[in-house]
Structure 1
Amino acid sequence: AEFCQVGKDPRTDMGMRIGLDNLKSGSENETTPLLKGNSDPSSSYKYNNNDPDNLGLNNAKTLQQQNAQPLPFTVETSKISLFATLTFQWFAPLLHLGNSKEQLNPEDLQTLPLPPSCRTSHVSKLFEQYWSQETHNAKTASVARCLAKAYGSDYLCVGVLKLIHDLSVFVGPIVLNQLIQFLRDATATLSTGLLLTLAVTISQIIMCLCLRYFAFKCYLTALRMRTAVVVAVYKKALKLSSAERQRRSTGQIVNLMTVDAQRIGDVASYLHQIWSSALTIILSFYFLWMQLGPSCLGGVAVIVIAIPINKIIVVHMTCLQKVLMKCRDERVEVNSEVLNGIKVIKLQAWEESYTKKILHLRNTELKQLSRYIIANAIQTMAWTAVRLLVALASFAVYTMLGNTLDVANALTALALFDILRYPLSKLPVMVNNLVEAATSLDRVKIFLLSEDRIPLAGAGLESKGIDAGVEISNGTFVYESMKPMMGGVHTKKDSNFFEMDQELLKQVHDGYWEIKLLKAQLKDAEERIVSLSGKEDYRATPASTSISAHYGDNGLKDPNGTTTLVNGTKDEDGEATTETVEDVHPSELLVLRRIDFSCGRGELIAVVGLVGSGKTTFINSMLGEVKALSGTLAVKGRLAYFPQTPFIMNDTLQRNVTFARQAEDFDQGRYDLAISICALEHDIKLLSGGDQTEIGEKGITLSGGQRARVAMARAVYHDADIYLLDDPLAAVDVHVGKHVFQKCIVDELLLRKTPGSMSGLDSERKSSVILVTNAIQYLSNPHVSKIVVLHGGSVAEVGTYNELCSKPGSLFSSFVSILDSERSNGETKGGNEEDSATDDRSEQLTDQSMFIPGRSNSAQSYIYAEYDVEEEDDKDPSLAKPVDEFDSVTALMTNELQEREKGLVDFGNYAAWFKAAGGIFVLILVLIGLVIDRGADVGSTWWLTYWSRHGGEDPYSFLQIYAFINVTAIFAIFARQLFIFLAGLRAAKLLFVELLDVILRAPMSFFDTTPIGRIVNRFSKDVYILDEKLVLALRGFLNALSRVISTIFVIS
């Protein structure tokens, strides 16, 4: 069976799923067990059109432009010479191009050689291949081992370059000793000096070439690892089971794809440094033994003592890192919730309230970050002290053994200690990165091993032999857990409450629910609800919602006021009664019971019911989105799904219909057919750029009906055998709805009799169509094979329109009467214009706002249902967006996409960070620490040289002064490190407050024209860079700058 989603998954914000193929193959129907554990990795979803190369769609380019510039990467890597490879001459054309124009564009990258191994599709497939092997034993599965198998061979090979570099480093001290001996020897020849100078020059050239190419290959491996993790997490997010989606917040998934993926990639830059550092330390002490003899063992003793001390610090940092990432996940999740519900937040003027909530979480995050920063500063000081104390201990032992320092020995020893400086100073950075990477690898592993959606679940019964379509036999379905209202988190004390609280569901005894007790328990627990922040301090804010507003006298109440019984009924007096329930787990809520249903090829079945009757859940059960307790579900054929809220990309209208990435993927005939039968031709003419118009985030430039018809056109274009349509006609007016129903649903999707419809496919092949609708005018159509009436999560009635209407006292007759009354009221208000007066009906008569678990991860959908705030502006013809408004919004989008900084980073950005960090005061403190540190470093070298010349009489006095200089340097380094980190923390705190204030006070036009994902990235990855990476970069810059200045000072 193949699955093709033509809309957005109704319970996840993670995007779209298209082309899931080969779950089961063969001409015979396959029936799979409903009661099944984790799905077999070998039979997991495969995404036909969800190629990782297509994950980042370029919103700034039209389809024709992209096809005209396919980025061929015409330079072949095999034709690049060894010299050009080592000196990066292949990069020169891009540098020249960048120098000749103001900005580089993606098309300019075609000047670069790109081997197949660097393409996203190759990288991700390689990772998936090895990860599928790892998952055969989940207990021993390792993301690190998988990455090593996938990309380790090339990475290990470049270690040879690092080895050559490390060996060449020691040429300098050896030649330095020989040069000093050469200068002392009056009989030495000039050729000896020239050879020594040449040896130093050649060694430096070899070091440079090897190190640069080694670093390039390491960064390339890091990019591959990061890409593999991002794609793996993205694909996994689309396959999570309903229960797992409730446990995994959007913020956590965003952090996995940004922060954790980056950390895992970064570790590739440091793995070779582990053995390299060990080798450098061993060789350094070997050559120190040659210069100082057994005295160098004093330095070895210092390192041995330092290792367990640093281990304690590392363990503590690991714990702090895990807590920090948890706090970061919670904050990013709330940020995402607020951004997705920004329209309602602005309508209710809740900006200040939500600002407090987010800042509360941010303060908790910064508190953990400050602890981590202090631990990091202590670790840096410890390893810096090791570097200085190694030299001090060696010279101290050398002096106490009665030896006299010689200039040649002293300078050679200093050169060797300087070589030791790099591995010892980088060890804390390496340890820090490894700690972060280990934490991230563990988080990614747990996520990738999460339970998948069980596709096409059944009880393993015999095949029913259906030709094509869907068949459910005695199916009972549940949502696996309940998510807190408003997408919030709750306190540890109440962590189990919204999984219906074990105490509440322990009332399930002898197979019965005690409804009154359930209601009483819910009322008692009312004050325990905590929204968004997870802290009881904020439970009285406008977003906090009383549970009694959502629970009726006999079970769950949806926000529109309709009571949905929790496996119970009401008697004539309105009192609650109980009903037998089959095998309900305490953490599960029964939503569909004893479903018997079949839809074969060429059948159009309508599904109707009042709010909360389970229509959407009924459709979701066929997609494997709802856990099944019993029965069988058989699905055969390619599936296409239309959700209640159509998925619209921030791209052109044409791309939203076709998803075509390349010209060869585009079928013009099929596209024209889809546009015609979905009545989009007139709408396209009104758009300024036709079907190449950017229709914005969530289709902001389109009305609700237009968005629905774009999604329907997508269903037509991506041909399928089975169509699951969840109320596709709710947002269109009567005459357009008739056209779409007859021409699209009946003639094309069902009967395939539209001329030229199949574009070369079998035109005799009919499809199965399951249509959820409350539009009664279509139910009497002769092509509607039968009507399924849902009530209380069960199939109440099944039959044709005439059969159900003629049945005395049928639910369907009452349902039709209600709809007739609603339609009459709507017509008296006037207006048959496009999309007018229909969405209100849809809101009342569809179950999209039914309060059930797993329906939404965002606050927005619930608030819309709660306060009856409409997302579309097309309820009345007078409110419809005029063409000039389409143009203005499109212009805003285009301008926003074109606003890219040119040239150097504006100095104002540095000034803003500097001001937020504390200004002149912090700068003075950092500079004082820097001067003391560098002064002590230069002073210790000068003093050692002075000691070797004049220290023969009183070596202990010289040793004491040398020790004082080094201890001063240790505390200066710690103080400088701490000042820099605390200044960065202060800047991160203030800039985050400013960013949050600007975003929440931005006009709606900004959110209409800016993808939410782009804004979320500002609050996730960019904030992480601001918190940690920027400070590390500043520290490195100051260290390098101070060394350059001090070197120039000494030479001068």
Structure 2
Amino acid sequence: MHHCRRAAMLRDASLTWRPEDPDLTFWFQRIILQWVPCFLLFLFTFYEVYGIVTSRYRDIPWNWLNISKIVITFMLMTLRGLTMIVNYHNQQDVFDVQILVAVFNALAYITTIALYYFFRKYGIRSAGTIFIFWFLKAFLDIIQMRTEAMKHAKRENPIGSGKTVIFDEYQFVSYTLQYSLICLITLFFIKLLYLYFDRFTWTGFRKPLTDDDMYDLNPQDMSRELVPPFDKYWYESVESGRRKQMATDKKAGKVNPVYKPNAASNRSILPAMVKAYGGPFWFAGLLQIGISGLPYLMQELMGNIAMNGPFWIGMTITFALFLNSLLIALFNGQYFRKTFLVGFRIRTGLISAIYRKALRISSFAKKDTTVGEIVNLMAVDAQRFFELTSYLYVLWSAPIIIGVCIFFLYEILGPAVFAGLGVMVFMIPITGVIATRLRDLQVKQINIKDERVKKMNEILSGMKVLKLYAWGPSFQDDIVGVRHGEIDILRTMAYYGAATFLVWSMAPFLVTLALFAVYVMIDENNVLDPQTAFVSLALFNILRFPLAMFPMMITFAMQAWVSVQRINKFMNSEELDPTNVTHNRSEDALSIKDGTFSWGDETPILKNINLAVKKGKLSAVVGSVGTGKSSLISALLGEMEKIKGTVNTDGSIAFVPQQAWIQNATLRENILFGKAYNAQKYDRVLECCALKPDLEMLPGRDKTEIGEKGINLSGGQKQRVALAQAVYADAEIYLFDDPLSAVDAHVGKHIFEKVIGPEGILVGRSRLLVTHGISFLPSVEEIFVVKDGEISESGSYQQLLDQKGAFAEFLMQHFQELDEEDEEIQIIQEILKDEVSRNIVKRAMSTRSQRSSGSGGSAGSVCRKTMSRQESRNSNKPVEAPAAPAKGTTLIEKEESATGAVS
């Protein structure tokens, strides 16, 4: 009895559904309408707390906006409390449930004030939860205000008591105005409708946009926030596969199994992507789960018109139709924003992972991977996920939407719905065959694109040689042939795509035709009245989108699956072993003990290597071409596969390779390389690296852009920029792989004295120099001589000369390759004062003179650097001088004896 009485107090059909002046019961308004906003606020507060805890923003300073939010909320809480006190003071009935509602409201206000405070502290400028709370509060209070206004209008004495007027009828007016003020000052409404973009659009209309006009990225959309989650989950997946393979190998009886990636241990990037970036995507998917209420509302509206129902019900249904369309538009806008962000984050994470994987793959894995393939993985395959995410929900929502629409159509049209279902089922195998064919073509197209990018990279890298030998037409024909093959595949894919689009574009029309035709034909009583036709057409319009998008999504899904397989193959390729080099504390900055190294599965390149570079000392590595000097540097960097032995480095390392790596940036940015600018240190580095004269020639001095899109520097200039970059890095250990070979002898002497040498800017740092310049060797504290992949001898310059071993042979060979007029040999003669060195020079020059007279020409073999300087000198001679090079300056004796004299 009491239960029925309470239910009647909350709902009264005669009051709510009466033809004129419908209204809600007093208790429904005072309880349910007050509890709904509070309940939603308490429910979503947990989500907001999670956002506060994970926020990466800075705190927001106090201003009139956040202060006014807290003050107005506190005033509302005070007014609510005063209302209860005045009602109790006027001896009005105050029930327990009203007290409970007041407590709920007070808790809601306190929660709102707390959220405002923590949002300011943790840099969150807007929140959907608070916006929804105030919006519902204001909207539902309007219903109560209407009820009170209607009661006041029906009274015989509308003036009444002043207290009654203030605290009963018109209290909701002040509430609503203040709630509306809070709704206006919240930024969530601006974000919901993208109003913040208006200023950006207006700026672009008035003037061309620049980088300064662009918005800064949100912290959670920057690489430093996006990359670590994917790396974490990918590393966990790889470690899981490694442990699984190692356990399998142990069970198979292998002793000390070594991890090598194989098909069983390979991992997919999909689980890592879902874990790292799937949260916002699943939340966005919730916005697309709800089926449009348009058909149901349309049916109710048509029924109300047919039955001549109450006017207010028709207006309510019409408002519901408008609200339904508005919500669909808002949800779709938010859905696409979130899914585009997810696609952007996935692409960023994949590009970063692929790039860093390219730096870690082993030399053996590099044989199966070209530069073109790696570029395509980052530029094409990662982009597939960005294109897929926005419409990925179609793959799982389309069958649900189609099934629900078919169910409603069955309720309206009966068994005729199976005719339309049969048409759709008939189209599925056609689409399946086309999708399979598209997948195969996609694989072929990607492989051809890899080949094209590889060849283009080779052409651009060797453009100078290509132009000198007039090979342009031949290479052009080669590229055009590859491109024609790619275009043929793209044309075939376009035909298949057009066929799929045509089939599924006709689907809504064919399904509608089959449904209505069968519906009318199976029973004479079936008539297409307006209600049946309009509701069915509304359902068909809902079916139109998934049917139109489904074929496109199948194509996107096939392309993305091919990209997943390609990226999986690359990401699971063998990496350099991080344990190849240890970083333990030691007396030596660099040390190798009994080391044997190889490039992949090949024969060992370096054998029985024992090397120790003392801290703060300058050491050098010398040897003939091809003996393994650069490989020794690679072994110290961990880039070679260690077969046995130990390698240890103690300190940070800066490496200067033979071929300088220049970024597409200004000269200053290349030298700083992310370090803070220090004017004094920067100027000293420029002077020591002999770059100041070059700055005078550059149009923008050190602000000049260099690299692919900037000014082209010479080889010597690039090498000096790379050297300056390493010096500015201020590392503890420096590895130089013959950086002075690209500069002139006098410049090399200056750089050695000011940078590398005993009195250079790097004095006190550990330095290992690979060089062919023997003029620097007397200043080196220890020299390692490499011969046939082994360190044959080591010691100081004088010690090695006294031994008359491999080092003396190296000096003899080097002197024989020099010209008497060469600038370097003049510098060497000034430096080498001891008797042993002078004797070696004399014997080498005598041997070279005898060979020259015997062959009737100049020396037969010239090193790379000397050759370039001789060509430079010859270019200044008269035109009749070409006879000199014809005497065979690049032919060795064996070749000359095989070909004979040239008359």
Tell me the CA shift for residue 238 of structure 1.
1.5
Tell me the CA shift for residue 656 of structure 1.
1.1
Checking the alignment, whether the CA contact within 8 Å between 1:466 and 1:600 is kept in structure 2 is no
Q: Secondary structure at the match of 1:612?
A: coil
Q: Which residue of 1 aligns with 2:201?
A: 95
Out of 764, 768, 771, the residue aligned to residue 770 of structure 1 is 768
Q: Which residue of 2 aligns with 1:780?
A: 778
Question: Does 2:209 correspond to 1:104?
Answer: yes
Q: Secondary structure at the match of 2:791?
A: strand
Q: Deviations over 1:587-632 (max 9, x none)?
A: x144222222221212222111222122112211211222232332
Deviates more, 1:398-407 or 1:709-718: 398-407
Out of 816, 820, 842, the residue aligned to residue 815 of structure 2 is 820
Tell me the CA shift for residue 203 of structure 1.
1.9
Q: Which residue of 1 aligns with 2:588?
A: 468
AA aligned to 2:420 is G
1:214-363 equivalent positions in 2, closer than 5 A: 214-363=335-484
Question: Does 2:797 correspond to 1:801?
Answer: yes
Distance 1:875 1:170, change over 3 A: farther
Q: Deviations over 1:638-695 (max 9, x none)?
A: 111111111122222111111137xxx3233332332232232333234332222223
Tell me the CA shift for residue 384 of structure 1.
3.6
| Cα root mean square deviation, aligned | 3.3
Tell me the CA shift for residue 353 of structure 1.
0.6
Checking the alignment, whether the CA contact within 8 Å between 1:223 and 1:265 is kept in structure 2 is yes
CA distance in 2, matches of 1:867, 1:401: 95
Tell me the CA shift for residue 785 of structure 1.
1.9
Tell me the CA shift for residue 774 of structure 1.
1.3
Question: Does 2:471 correspond to 1:368?
Answer: no
Distance 1:478 1:131, change over 3 A: same
Q: Which residue of 1 aligns with 2:281?
A: 155
Distance 1:140 1:382, change over 3 A: farther
Q: Deviations over 1:82-129 (max 9, x none)?
A: 21111101212211211221x21222124x6x4321112211122112
Q: Which residue of 1 aligns with 2:651?
A: 637
Tell me the CA shift for residue 874 of structure 1.
11
Q: Which residue of 2 aligns with 1:736?
A: 747
Tell me the CA shift for residue 179 of structure 1.
4.9
Checking the alignment, whether the CA contact within 8 Å between 2:745 and 2:823 is kept in structure 1 is no
1:463-502 equivalent positions in 2, closer than 5 A: 466-480=586-600
Q: Secondary structure at the match of 2:660?
A: coil
AA aligned to 2:750 is H
Question: Does 2:241 correspond to 1:120?
Answer: no
Q: Deviations over 1:167-202 (max 9, x none)?
A: 3x341x3444455556656x4555454444333222
Q: Which residue of 1 aligns with 2:65?
A: none
Q: Deviations over 1:928-948 (max 9, x none)?
A: xxxxxxxxxxxxxxxxxxxxx
Checking the alignment, whether the CA contact within 8 Å between 2:741 and 2:865 is kept in structure 1 is no
Out of 689, 693, 702, the residue aligned to residue 691 of structure 1 is 702
AA aligned to 2:801 is C
CA distance in 2, matches of 1:672, 1:355: 46
Checking the alignment, whether the CA contact within 8 Å between 2:281 and 2:342 is kept in structure 1 is yes
Deviates more, 1:771-780 or 1:671-680: 671-680
Equivalent residue pairs, number: 639
Question: Does 2:554 correspond to 1:431?
Answer: yes
Checking the alignment, whether the CA contact within 8 Å between 1:650 and 1:694 is kept in structure 2 is yes
AA aligned to 1:147 is M
AA aligned to 1:117 is Q
Q: Which residue of 1 aligns with 2:187?
A: 81
Checking the alignment, whether the CA contact within 8 Å between 2:688 and 2:761 is kept in structure 1 is no
Q: Which residue of 1 aligns with 2:255?
A: none
Checking the alignment, whether the CA contact within 8 Å between 1:647 and 1:698 is kept in structure 2 is no
Q: Secondary structure at the match of 2:454?
A: helix
Q: Deviations over 1:419-465 (max 9, x none)?
A: 2111011100111111111111221122112212224626x9xx997
AA aligned to 1:452 is E
Out of 712, 731, 739, the residue aligned to residue 720 of structure 1 is 731
Distance 1:435 1:413, change over 3 A: same
AA aligned to 2:812 is S
Q: Secondary structure at the match of 2:407?
A: helix
Q: Secondary structure at the match of 2:336?
A: helix
Q: Which residue of 2 aligns with 1:618?
A: 632
AA aligned to 2:528 is D
Distance 1:329 1:732, change over 3 A: closer
Question: Which has more helix, going by share of residues?
Answer: 2
Q: Secondary structure at the match of 1:83?
A: helix
Tell me the CA shift for residue 323 of structure 1.
2.2
Question: Does 2:543 correspond to 1:420?
Answer: yes
CA distance in 2, matches of 1:873, 1:177: 91
Q: Secondary structure at the match of 1:730?
A: helix
Which of structures 1 and 2 has the larger relative contact order (alpha carbons within 8 angstroms, sep 6+)? 1
Tell me the CA shift for residue 796 of structure 1.
2.7
AA aligned to 1:273 is V
Q: Deviations over 1:869-895 (max 9, x none)?
A: 999999749999xxxxxxxxxxxxxxx
Out of 429, 438, 441, the residue aligned to residue 564 of structure 2 is 441
Q: Deviations over 1:63-85 (max 9, x none)?
A: xxxxxxxxxxx995669622111
Checking the alignment, whether the CA contact within 8 Å between 1:749 and 1:769 is kept in structure 2 is no
Q: Secondary structure at the match of 2:610?
A: strand
Distance 1:874 1:317, change over 3 A: farther
Distance 1:76 1:748, change over 3 A: farther
CA distance in 1, matches of 2:605, 2:723: 28
AA aligned to 2:289 is L
CA distance in 2, matches of 1:474, 1:609: 20
Q: Secondary structure at the match of 1:646?
A: coil
Tell me the CA shift for residue 259 of structure 1.
0.8
Distance 1:866 1:387, change over 3 A: farther
Tell me the CA shift for residue 711 of structure 1.
1.4
Q: Which residue of 2 aligns with 1:595?
A: 609
Identity %: 34
AA aligned to 1:815 is F
Out of 504, 510, 513, the residue aligned to residue 389 of structure 1 is 510
CA distance in 1, matches of 2:234, 2:305: 62
CA distance in 2, matches of 1:282, 1:216: 27
Q: Secondary structure at the match of 1:92?
A: helix
Distance 1:97 1:867, change over 3 A: farther
Q: Which residue of 2 aligns with 1:1045?
A: none
Checking the alignment, whether the CA contact within 8 Å between 1:641 and 1:725 is kept in structure 2 is yes
CA distance in 1, matches of 2:431, 2:709: 51
AA aligned to 2:811 is V
Checking the alignment, whether the CA contact within 8 Å between 1:478 and 1:591 is kept in structure 2 is yes
Q: Deviations over 1:246-271 (max 9, x none)?
A: 21111111111111111012221122
Unaligned 5+ segments in structure 1 are: 1-73, 481-584, 753-765, 833-864, 881-1052
TM-score scaled by structure 2? 0.66
Checking the alignment, whether the CA contact within 8 Å between 1:678 and 1:744 is kept in structure 2 is yes
Distance 1:213 1:402, change over 3 A: same
Q: Secondary structure at the match of 1:780?
A: helix
Distance 1:273 1:190, change over 3 A: same
CA distance in 2, matches of 1:780, 1:391: 93
CA distance in 2, matches of 1:785, 1:829: 21
Checking the alignment, whether the CA contact within 8 Å between 1:604 and 1:769 is kept in structure 2 is yes
